[in-house]
Chain A
């Protein structure tokens, strides 16, 4: 039996999903494009570009391409009418996929907003995601807003997502969290003793955060690849 209210709700959700997807992808692409422009302008001002600079720009350009590709792929799948219905199970699966797309769109949107607001309102000379984060100077109201967004993007959203995924993805996520934890547990002391031996710079907060984040992503990707 077809429930008209459900159909209308589904269409509304699709529309909302498209809006969030377009907004999130747009902000993310704009943010990354802005980073590329800024990086290139600094590179030109400094002169003598290194291979690492080109690699970073290439990676950023690749990320833009990835976001654009993902947006196009997700956009096509957002309308339930485009996919033939064959059973109640498939309808529930599509609902799950839409929820997942909405989750990723909101995550990208929050990340983009954090980057844009930080860049636009920074009165100092620092960057949130670098070694010179302590040179950031923000208005207290903006700082509170950003702290709230970071809490939402890095704690509330992942924990909510963790509750909605199935047991296999939860297992992958746990492997990812363990990987991040192990990376910090082993990485920080390694970095510290290497620095004590005159190898590399002193450990800094963003580097330790990055260790955890990259460790988590690598472990999660490994778990996903194994399955």
Chain B
């Protein structure tokens, strides 16, 4: 059995939640509505809204689609604060 001092302690679950992103800023720079971005990404407008507000973390394929659309690296759009 591992002792409390030797085991690596994980941060609380909430610390992993809500990956930050620059989607709203990038969208605004292009003067796109949420519906416009949603259509270009082939997702619903609600999904775009949820990603922008940090309530939904996109899958890796969707993150790549977003990065390709804005011609950027994923890390330039998504980041966590840890």
Contact = CB atoms under 8 A, between A and B. Distances in A.
Instruction: Say what secondary structure dominates the interface of chain B.
Output: helix
Chain B interface size, under 10 / 10 to 19 / 20 to 34 / 35 or more = 20 to 34
Given A168-B50, A227-B56, A90 B43 contact: no
A82 to B, nearest CB: 15
A92 B50 contact: no
A2 B70 CA distance: 25
Nearest to B37: A89
Interface in A165-187: 165-169, 171
A226 B50 CA distance: 10
Contacts of A92: 38-40, 42
B47 interface: yes
A88 interface: yes
Contact of A227 (B36, B38, B43, B46): B46
Contacts of A165: 44
A90 B27 CA distance: 13
Given A167-B58, A168-B47, A169-B47, A88 B39 contact: yes
Nearest to B35: A93
B62 to A, nearest CB: 6
Nearest to B43: A166
Contact of B36 (A86, A167, A169, A226): A86
B44 A89 contact: no
Q: In the complex, which range does the number of interface residues on chain A fall in?
A: 10 to 19
Contacts of B42: 92, 166
Interface core residue of A86, A96, A168, A171 (most chain B CB under 10 Å): A168
B5 interface: no
A123 B17 CA distance: 57
Given A167-B58, A168-B56, A227-B55, A90 B46 contact: no
A86 B33 contact: yes
A91 B42 CA distance: 11
Contact of A93 (B45, B55, B56, B62): B45
Interface of B: 32-33, 35-47, 50, 55-56, 58-59, 62
Interface of A: 86-94, 96, 165-169, 171, 226-227
Closest 8 CB pairs of A and B: A89-B39, A92-B39, A89-B36, A166-B43, A89-B40, A93-B39, A168-B47, A93-B35
24 contacts: A86-B36, A87-B40, A88-B39, A91-B39, A92-B39, A93-B35, A93-B39, A93-B44, A93-B45, A96-B38, A165-B44, A166-B43, A166-B47, A167-B47, A167-B59, A167-B62, A168-B43, A168-B46, A168-B47, A168-B50, A168-B56, A226-B55, A227-B46, A227-B56
